[in-house]
Homo-oligomer: A and B are copies of this chain.
């Protein structure tokens, strides 16, 4: 019974091209071509090979192919945090794009730690990914990526951008988004508007904050340093920010948040104080994550007109197809989705 595995699809030792070739009395070259569906090999042979391969449970050995072709068919993805739902969605998009191009995703996260990022990138290199999707750590310069770029590994910057790097970029048109958010709140009648979240040195926060300042100035409103609450775009930042702001002698009545997660934190902070987001304090998020519409009240946020994850994937693949093309910079325009958290100030 247990010996009767002559025609079983797969046993323990992996089947190789060579085995299929000798079984069928053809060369490995023919098998190789046939399995990849080459027109160069006769239809009949092709099918014979494919059938036998299936029967034997042949599995392509990518290590061997990679060694030979110097293409790994993997893309490396390096982001700070997958716990942020926005990045989780982004990653999902990148993965979908990779899979549809027949590639696998090597994932690494660095938790906003530059050194960890550098170690990660060094390790990635050994695996020879065909390309890298990177949301660079704060402080990363083009020099820090030299080891990758020198060997010709294409890099697509996701979300954050190293200014002047010349590398492909996919992310948000941060300035436009923050301006929309700020002007929306001004239009509702708010005069003291805070900014919650974001850290110096990340292009996303630098750009969003600048646009916020400019929008205030453009409407003749003062920019008050006390109304900035910095921090990573995490829930606790929003939680702490709202407390800090409401304890001010002259508290703001609204805040532009660096991202949705920060805004959710602020909403929770309001609840804790027995206040209602929207009615008692206006908030605008950024990213329009799935959660934004589910919260109560719904979070006003900025939605990208294209999904950045898949676009990042496609950008990388088009770069692989044409390494010589000029830098691709896809700053995706956001649109404001108005929900319950943005209401006029009371009285």
Known A-B contacts A12-B152, A62-B128, A296-B272; A147 and B57 likewise in contact (beta carbons under 8 Å):
yes
Known A-B contacts A74-B127, A105-B106; A12 and B150 likewise in contact (beta carbons under 8 Å):
yes
For the complex, give the distance between the alpha carbons of A59 and B265 in Å: 44
Which of A89-97, A196-204, A219-227 is near enough to bind chain B?
A89-97
Is residue A10 contacting chain B, with contact meaning CB distance below 8 A? yes
For the complex, give the distance between the alpha carbons of A69 and B63 in Å: 10
For the complex, give the distance between the alpha carbons of A10 and B151 in Å: 8
Do B12 and A235 touch (CB < 8 A)?
A: no
- Contact residues on A (Cβ < 8 Å of other chain), bracket: 35 or more
A340: shortest Cβ distance to chain B, in Å? 10
For the complex, give the distance between the alpha carbons of A268 and B125 in Å: 45
Which of A80-88, A243-251, A280-288, A324-332 is near enough to bind chain B?
A80-88
For the complex, give the distance between the alpha carbons of A72 and B61 in Å: 11
Do B92 and A294 touch (CB < 8 A)?
A: no
Residues of chain B within 8 A of A128, CB atoms compared:
61-63
Is residue A126 contacting chain B, with contact meaning CB distance below 8 A? yes
A301: shortest Cβ distance to chain B, in Å? 16
Do B74 and A83 touch (CB < 8 A)?
A: no
For the complex, give the distance between the alpha carbons of A99 and B116 in Å: 11
Tell me the interface secondary structure of chain A in the complex. Answer: helix
Is residue A107 contacting chain B, with contact meaning CB distance below 8 A? yes
Of listed A89, A125, A294, residue having the most chain B CB within 10 A? A294
Contact string, A103-140, partner B, CB cutoff 8 A, digits 1/0? 01111110000000000100111111000000000000
Is residue A44 contacting chain B, with contact meaning CB distance below 8 A? no
Do A106 and B150 touch (CB < 8 A)?
A: no
A81: shortest Cβ distance to chain B, in Å? 8
Residues of chain B within 8 A of A92, CB atoms compared:
82-83, 109
Is residue A236 contacting chain B, with contact meaning CB distance below 8 A? yes
**Contact partner of A294 among B11, B63, B108, B235, CB < 8 A?**
B235
For the complex, give the distance between the alpha carbons of A29 and B290 in Å: 55
Known A-B contacts A59-B125, A104-B123, A268-B294; A151 and B91 likewise in contact (beta carbons under 8 Å):
no
A61-B126, A268-B294 known, 19 other contacts, Cβ within 8 Å? A10-B150, A10-B151, A12-B150, A12-B151, A12-B152, A57-B147, A63-B67, A82-B91, A83-B88, A85-B85, A92-B109, A95-B109, A99-B120, A99-B123, A104-B108, A105-B106, A105-B108, A106-B107, A272-B296
4 residue pairs, one from A and one from B, having the closest CB atoms: A63-B66, A271-B296, A107-B107, A63-B67
